[in-house]
Amino acid sequence: MLRALLLVLLSSVCAPSIAATVAPVLVLGDSLSAAYGLAPNEGWVTLLSQRLQAAKPARAVVNASISGETSAGGLARLPPLLSQHKPAVVIVELGANDGLRGLPLTEVRTNLSKILADVRNAGAKGVLIGIELPVNYGPQYRDGLRSLYRGLATEFNVPLLPFLLEGVALDPALMQDDGLHPKAPAQARVLQNVWDVLGPVVGTLSDAH
C-alpha cells in the first residue's frame, strides 16, 4: 500500500502538467482571414493552426476574423478577446474594408493605432498585415494606405507584411470570381507570406523551444 502511494506521488511530480497551456496566437481580421468563399478548414488561418499545433510546444490559434470587418469593428471587439484568450501574439489584418468603403485614412489610422496600443498594453506581440486596393481607387488613396501601414509598423515596432496577397492577387487562377478573395489552392502561399513575418516572432516567445 505504501509502495503504491509513493509511486502515485512520484508520478504526479515527474509528469508534465496536463493543465499547463501555451499562450495562443490571435488573428483579428476580415474576410481574407475568415476563409470567405471556402470551406472553413481551407483558409490560411487553419493552415497556420495546423503548423503551430505540430510545433513544440504546440500552440493554439484563435481566429477572431469576421467577413466585412472594419478597423472600427475590430477595435470594439478586441478588449474582451484579449481578456479571454490572453494571446502571446495578435495578428492584425484589417483596413481592406475601410479602404473599399473609401473611409478617411486618418480614421483608419486612429483605429489601427488604438488596436496596436491595446495589444502592446496587454503584453502581447503585434504583427501587422497590410492590403492593396484595386487600382481604380487612385494612387493618392492607395499610396496613403501603404504609408499608413508602414508608419504604424515603425511607431509600434511591429513586423509588417505589406501585402497579404503578394504573389496571389494578380493571378486569376488563384482568385475567386469577385477578384478580391483567394481560392483554396492559394491559401498555402498566403500562409507563407504571413509566416515570413510571424515565424521569427513566434521563435522569440519565452515559451517557445
181 is catalytic: yes
Sign of CA dihedral 197, 199, 204, 207: positive
The contacts of residue 135 (CB under 8 Å, 6+ apart) are 142
* Domain assignment of residue 109, yes or no: yes
Q: Please tell me the total count of domains within the chain.
A: 1
Active-site choice (177, 178, 206, 209): 178
Write out the residue range of the structural domain in which residue 96 sits: 22-203
Looking at this protein, which amino acid is placed at residue 33?
A: S
Read off the CATH number of the domain in which 150 is found: 3.40.50.1110
* Domain assignment of residue 6, yes or no: no
* Domain assignment of residue 17, yes or no: no
Taking the C-alpha atoms of residue 60 and residue 66, their distance in angstroms, rounded to an integer, is 19
Active-site choice (31, 33, 65, 71): 31
Average pLDDT over residues 152-174: 98
pLDDT per residue as tens digits for the range 31-60: 999 999 999 899 999 999 999 999 999 999
* Domain assignment of residue 108, yes or no: yes
The per-residue pLDDT of the chain, averaged, comes to 91
pLDDT reported for residue 209: 53
* Domain assignment of residue 184, yes or no: yes
pLDDT reported for residue 21: 84
Query: In this structure, are residues 62 and 27 in contact, taking their beta carbons and an 8 Å threshold?
Result: yes
pLDDT per residue as tens digits for the range 101-121: 999 999 999 999 999 999 999
Active-site choice (33, 65, 98, 181): 181
* Domain assignment of residue 32, yes or no: yes
31 is catalytic: yes
Is the pLDDT assigned to residue 4 strictly greater than 50?
no
Closest CA to 158 of 204, 208, 103, 209: 204
pTM over 0.75: yes
Which has more pLDDT, 17 or 182?
A: 182
* Domain assignment of residue 15, yes or no: no
Q: Which helix (H) or strand (E) holds 2?
A: helix 2-14
Question: In 10 A of CB 158, how many CB atoms?
Answer: 19
Q: In which band, very low, low, confident or very high, does the pLDDT at 207 lie, cut at 50, 70 and 90? A: confident
Taking the C-alpha atoms of residue 48 and residue 185, their distance in angstroms, rounded to an integer, is 15
Is the pLDDT assigned to residue 81 strictly greater than 70?
yes
